Amino acid sequence: MAAIVTTAERPGARTRVRAARRRPRVWRGLVLALAGAYFLLPLVASFVFTVHVPGQGVSFEAYTELLSADGFARSLLLSLGLAAATIALSLLLTAPALIAVRIGAPRLRPVVEAVCLLPLVVPPIALVTGITTVLRWGPEQLSRTPLYQTFIAIQNEDFPVVLVLAYTVLALPFVHRSLDAGLRAVDVPTLVEAARGCGASWPYVVRRVLLPNLRTSLTGAAFLTLALVLGEFTIASLLGFRPFAVWIVSVSGAQARMSVAVSILSLLITWALLLLLSRAGSAPRTTAAGSSPASPKETQS
């Protein structure tokens, strides 16, 4: 009988296998290095521009003046408040609707998907034009009704609710995609049937069974919504409000170094908030007693 020679016994086979394993690592490191340089070099150049003053050397005056600049803290807090309200409203609208469609009416999923993707078709400039028309029409036609005060209240400069409504519409496609991917990865009918069979109510099933399994999707939706709100300029500017993005543009015309410093600081703040959301979304779940949930093997034993 002919001897069977394995790959490991062939001369030089191990060397070729090791070389093949090293090649993806080399390409992987090269791609990561190019990507890192693509993102980091502009940030480094911007930071050097803010701290290097010709004829004076290194100076952090742009950052020290930034903290005491007029409107900085107010605009930043306004954007963070708008982001929190938009995240809460978009999740409260989208998550129950997608869960209900997934459980009770799977045939309506294409309809819900088409409705949620409509903001991608409508340009923001067209959306803000429609909002402006409605805001102008409302007080004139409803001046003698209780709705008049509602139109005035949603345009309050301290916290413009109209921006929350507009941002919720813009964030709807991203929130839908994130939650829909999470629901497809989970066997929702089986989980619901098992929980209902054990006597759990519908609110308990949603709160304690489905939402914990959608934690990653909820965190991803919050990521995208937060980045959208902090960087949105068109709608807020045309409606006459001044959140953080609009404040940055208004400062850039007078003080270039401060505007670049604000941009760097906004990136750091956004990354920090995304990191906090990531840690919150990946935190291990614990039981009421404070211990981690038991594994399936431990449960069976």
In a domain, 14, yes or no: no
Residue range 44-74, pLDDT digits in tens: 888 888 887 777 777 777 777 777 778 888 8
Prediction pTM value: 0.75
Q: Is the pLDDT assigned to residue 11 strictly greater than 80? A: no
CB 13 within 8 A of CB 7: yes
Asked whether residue 38 falls in the same domain as residue 80, the answer is: no
Question: For residue 38, is pLDDT > 50?
Answer: yes
261 domain residue, yes or no? yes
Distances (CA, A) of 134 to 122, 123, 126, 131, 151: 17, 17, 13, 5, 9
Q: Which amino acid is at 118?
A: L
Same domain assignment for residues 174 and 240:
yes
- Residue 204 CB neighbour total at 10 angstroms: 13
Asked if residue 120 and residue 268 are part of one domain, the reply reads yes
Lowest mean pLDDT among 3-7, 19-23, 199-203: 3-7
Same domain, 80 and 103: yes
pLDDT at residue 212 tops 70:
yes
Residue 206 DSSP class: I
pLDDT single digits (tens) 94-143: 998 998 888 888 888 889 899 888 888 888 888 888 888 888 887 777 77
Tally of domains within the chain: 2
Based on the domain organization, do 47 and 94 belong to the same domain? no
| Res. 291 pLDDT band, cuts 50 70 90 | very low
Mean pLDDT across the stretch 4-14?
52
Asked whether residue 12 is assigned to any structural domain, the reply reads no
Mean pLDDT of the residues in the chain: 79
Q: Is residue 3 part of a domain?
A: no
68: enclosing H helix or E strand = none
Q: What is the pLDDT of residue 134?
A: 84
8 belongs to a structural domain: no
- Average the pLDDT over each of 26-30, 173-177, 295-299 and give the range with the smallest value: 295-299
Give the pLDDT band of residue 176 (cuts 50, 70, 90): very high
198 three-class SS: coil
pLDDT the model gives residue 16: 57
- Of residues 292 and 121, more confidence is placed in 121
52, 93: one domain? no
Residues 156 and 184 in one domain: yes
Shared domain check, 181 and 39: no
| pLDDT for residue 254 | 64
134, part of any domain? yes
Indicate whether 247 and 127 sit together in one domain. Answer: yes
What is the pLDDT, as a whole number, of residue 13?
Answer: 54
Confidence of residue 298 (pLDDT cuts 50, 70, 90): very low
CB atoms within 10 A of CB 60: 11
What pLDDT does 47 receive? 84
pLDDT of residue 196: 84
Q: Which of 116, 59, 33 is nearest to 261 (CA)?
A: 59
CATH number, domain at 191?
1.10.3720.10
Beta carbons within 8 Å of 238's beta carbon, 6+ residues apart:
125, 128, 132
The reply to whether 135 and 166 lie within a common domain is yes
Indicate if 52 and 81 belong to the same structural domain: no
Please report whether residue 9 resides in a domain. no
Beta-carbon contacts of 154 under 8 Å, excluding residues fewer than 6 positions away, are: 160, 161, 162, 165
140 lies in the same domain as 253: yes
pLDDT tens for residues 142-169? 777 777 788 888 888 889 999 999 999 9
For 76, the domain range is: 72-283
Report the SS3 class of residue 232.
coil
What whole-number distance in Å separates Cα of residue 249 and Cα of residue 254?
A: 10
In a domain, 288, yes or no: no
Which of 43, 109, 9, 74 has the alpha carbon at shortest distance from 243? Answer: 74
